[in-house]
Amino acid sequence: MNNWKLTDQLRLIARLHPWYEPLLRQSGITLSEIDCSPPALAELPLVTAAVLDRYYYAQPERMEPGLSIYRTSGTSSGIRKSIYYSHEDDLRYIEAKKASFLDWLGPRHAIAKAMADLGTGHAASTAIAIFQDLGMEAEAIPFTAPVEEHVAKLERYRPQLLYTMPSILEAIADALSSPLSLGLRKIILVGELASAEWQANMAGRFGIGASDVLDTYGSIEIGAIAAFSHELGRYVLSDDVYGESLPAEALGYEPLGPDEGVLVLTSFSRALFPAMRYVTYDIVRDFRIVVHQGRTLHTFACMTKRIGPELKHGEKISLYDIEEAVHRHLADASLRVQVESNKLKLFIKSSRLDDSVASAIQHDVEHKIGDIGMMIRNRLLQGIEVIHVSERDQLPAGPVKAKKLY
């Protein structure tokens, strides 16, 4: 990273967010001196949830012209928070998504029709414009519509590419007697964890290859963050986004598993959000900086979970590993995970789940996921219960971001 790039961004963030300069001074960094003595990225203060709550979310409503305002769901705190994008922030976000999609599709992709079937927020609001800029005809489905309406519109519109969330894709696949009948050629995912085994099984249900699924990772705060590279077999951060993987102990949490860390991001594509060592609280595995075809890339193998104060054992339970274990045995599974009364409950909808498969899943989760096995042996968890549900509405889930720990 060039020193001038970092110092210019520090000045921009301090100008747009006046509370940030005193935060820098607390870390021994003075703006008037950074040209002579530029700080290293690791010397900057962390922008944690507590810092954002105290300063960014507590600020009076911004009134600059041309702003886009996105609201968080408020599911964890009960309070919806405002996140701002300038016109330039929006343009940079759209360009990053277009570059990511085109890099995967290839310049001669021949995809003519796309459908966006998402929740709310930045990805949903910009999807149509992005696909139109890529030369595609595009339509959207409101995520609040019943699944039957999603299926009916897909059958009527016949898109070649579907851009959606994993739990919405599950619902669509479950509602169709033959998902292959839709004729999809490409699927782009966003918004929730999707393990490699889940992606491969879902691709098979729609009659496409695993490489025809692009898993992307983003947030309202940062925008476009990463996309999976089938060539590298790893998630690659977007240009102008720099990553770090910090031990959980640095943030007051219990230690994570081997090779795991809390993802911290610095974005040079954002101005109206202070994305300078922003703590995502997402846990990534095997974070690594690699050089590929002359480019220095920030990469990680997978995202395993999210830590937060509301989950007693959340620091130790990897949703990614549980999903991998389930989908090794069941290609058509819809899974939700719940910790209740110190018992790990796996709610599974699948036409192929029987007692023997349930026993095999219990064994794999307990014996092949070291942290969970240790929690059971130490009596932090009483055990694992596999609960077979026959209908999707019996799964613990909300309308969006359903794949999480309940």
Q: Which of 264, 281, 309 is the last residue of a domain?
A: 309
Shared-domain flag, residues 298 and 372 = no
Shared-domain flag, residues 60 and 181 = yes
pLDDT at 338: 85
With respect to residue 75, please indicate whether it lies within any of the assigned structural domains: yes
Tokens of 296: 């220095």
With respect to residue 7, please indicate whether it lies within any of the assigned structural domains: no
pLDDT at 143: 75
pLDDT at 312: 42
pLDDT at 145: 82
pLDDT at 198: 94
Separation of first and last alpha carbons in the chain: 39
Shared-domain flag, residues 287 and 367 = no
* Residue 336 near residue 406 (C-beta atoms within 8 A): yes
Shared-domain flag, residues 279 and 204 = yes
Which residues span the domain enclosing 352? 319-394
Q: Which residues of 112-134 are buried (b: 16+ CB within 10 A; e: fewer)?
A: eebbbbbbbbbbbebbbebbebb
CA 218 to chain centre: 5
Q: Which of 309, 330, 349 is the last residue of a domain?
A: 309
For position 352, which CATH number holds? 3.30.300
With respect to residue 373, please indicate whether it lies within any of the assigned structural domains: yes
The sign of the torsion formed by the CA atoms of 22, 28, 29, 31 equals positive
At 144-155, the pLDDT tens digits run 788 899 999 999
With respect to residue 35, please indicate whether it lies within any of the assigned structural domains: no
Shared-domain flag, residues 302 and 328 = no
For position 94, which CATH number holds? 3.40.50.12780
Shared-domain flag, residues 236 and 350 = no
pLDDT at 310: 42
Shared-domain flag, residues 234 and 291 = yes
Number of domains comprising the chain: 2
pLDDT at 401: 58
With respect to residue 294, please indicate whether it lies within any of the assigned structural domains: yes
Residues of the chain with pLDDT under 70: 1, 73-79, 119-121, 309-316, 380, 397-406
Shared-domain flag, residues 333 and 294 = no
Residue type, 346: L
How crowded is residue 216: how many other Cβ atoms within 10 Å of its Cβ?
22
pTM, whole model, 2 decimals?
0.87
Shared-domain flag, residues 96 and 239 = yes
With respect to residue 104, please indicate whether it lies within any of the assigned structural domains: yes
Shared-domain flag, residues 304 and 370 = no
Q: Which of 259, 275, 309 is the last residue of a domain?
A: 309
Alpha-carbon distance of 254 to 245, in angstroms, equals 15
With respect to residue 32, please indicate whether it lies within any of the assigned structural domains: no
Shared-domain flag, residues 223 and 132 = yes
With respect to residue 222, please indicate whether it lies within any of the assigned structural domains: yes
Shared-domain flag, residues 256 and 369 = no
Q: Which residues of 4-39 are buried (b: 16+ CB within 10 A; e: fewer)?
A: eebeebbeebbebbeebbebbeeeebeeeebeeebb
